[in-house]
Amino acid sequence: MLKKLAFAIVAAFAGSSAGLAADIQPVLLYDVGGKFDKSFNEAAHVGAEKFSTETRISYRDFEPSSETQYEQALKRFARRKADLIVAVGVGYSVAVRNVASQYPDVKFTVIDAIIELPNVQSITFRENEGSFLVGMIAAMKTESNKIGFIGGMDIPLIRRFERGYQQGAEYVNGDITLIENYVGTTPSAWNDPIKASEMARSQYARGADIIFSAAGPSGLGVIQAAKDTGNLSIGVDSNQNHVAPGFVLTSMLKRVDLAVYMAMKEASDGSWQAGHRVMGLEEGGVDYAVDEHNKGMFTDEMKARLEQARAKIISGEIVVGDVAGSNSSH
């Protein structure tokens, strides 16, 4: 305890001596998944940590236990004159809209939702572009010419993943068959790995040999089914290749860490701007994951084709279809 306190004092002094007048007080608010969810929120935490070690500016964070705390937490930090409040997740959209209009002097960055207010920066991702690339990977790797998709809750945001995935697969192979399933139509669909795994088993048995799941924690059921049946799966949001090495072909990365890092960095050097920022392939906001667990599954030819497609998407030669309403609150 004493050690911690001493460290805090030292850190405070170090902060004040190192920082200039521009020292800011950023705050990071997670969603109900919690800080170490091995996915979305953990990525946000990683981004904030990177900012903090680089600039030696400390940040505060908060883990709400339910959605009803969102607005309360935002208000509390806004009242304490935080400079920048970063809220992670589309669930924050209503709360940020309400609080940001009450505190026009505080900067807000919200991730995955679009809010049009003069003091709010909205960051969204082109999940369809990243999904296009993993769709290509699936189409190049499949032996049965059948691939699968399992979405969590049936909302436009998840349809966007499916749209890009299908388009990418068809870009490689026009004859490919896509089998799709959605776990449910309510938020409980994110937490039903049993149903997701049952759907995956059904898809594998019907001939699909690779399944991409965009289903939050339910997706773990898909990876488990891949392992149990000896097939391949594709992870989502963060790098899930390590969950079942050899059975996860790749993961569609959504760089929430980068978004959080950039927002804090810009707030500290004064270049932060309100408005809407979209992070696609060009901005490095989405990507596919290659690491020691799956690099053996990629050939040089596959990589070359992927890089070619990436360049074409960035240049606008390939337009990846989108789904309307993906980032509005529901």
Partner 1 sequence: MEFFADLTLLIDSTFRTATPLVLAGLAGLVAERSGIVDIGLEGKMLAAAFAAAAAAAVSGNPWVGMVAGVLASMFLALIHGYVSIAQRGNQIVSGMAINIAVAGLAPTLANFWFHQGGQTPLLGDEARFSAITLPFAERLSDVPVLGQLYTEIISGHNLVTYLTVLIIPAVAWMVYRTSFGLRLRAVGENPEAVDTAGISVTKLRYQAVLIGGLLCGLSGVVLSTGMGAAFIRDMSAGKGYLALAAMIFGRWKPVPTLLACLLFGFVDALQGRLQGENLPLIGEIPVQFTIMLPYVLTVIILAGFAGKMDAPKASGIPYEKDH
Query: 58 near 15, Cβ under 8 Å?
Result: yes
Collapsed DSSP state (helix, strand, coil) of residue 64: coil
Sign of CA dihedral 245, 250, 256, 258: positive
Inter-CA distances, 69 with 86, 95, 114, 188, Å: 15, 9, 20, 19
Nearest CB to partner 1, comparing residues 195 and 255: 195
Nearest CB to partner 1, comparing residues 100 and 150: 150
Name the site residues for partner 1 (rule: CB under 8 A).
33-39, 41-42, 154, 179-182, 184-185, 188, 191-195, 197-199, 201-202, 205-206, 217-218, 220-221, 224, 227-228, 243-244
Nearest CB to partner 1, comparing residues 42 and 129: 42
Smallest distance from partner 1 to CB 244, Å: 8
Smallest distance from partner 1 to CB 188, Å: 6
Query: 224 near 201, Cβ under 8 Å?
Result: no
Q: For residue 53, which of 257, 238, 272 has the smallest C-alpha distance?
A: 257
Give the separation between CA 21 and CA 35, rounded to whole angstroms: 30
Smallest distance from partner 1 to CB 184, Å: 6
Smallest distance from partner 1 to CB 18, Å: 30
Nearest CB to partner 1, comparing residues 49 and 282: 49
Nearest CB to partner 1, comparing residues 154 and 282: 154
For the chain, the C-alpha Rg in angstroms (whole number) is 21
Q: For residue 76, which of 27, 121, 30 has the smallest C-alpha distance?
A: 27
Collapsed DSSP state (helix, strand, coil) of residue 250: strand
Nearest CB to partner 1, comparing residues 162 and 287: 162
Smallest distance from partner 1 to CB 245, Å: 12
Alpha helices in 19-123 (DSSP H): 40-55, 69-79, 93-102
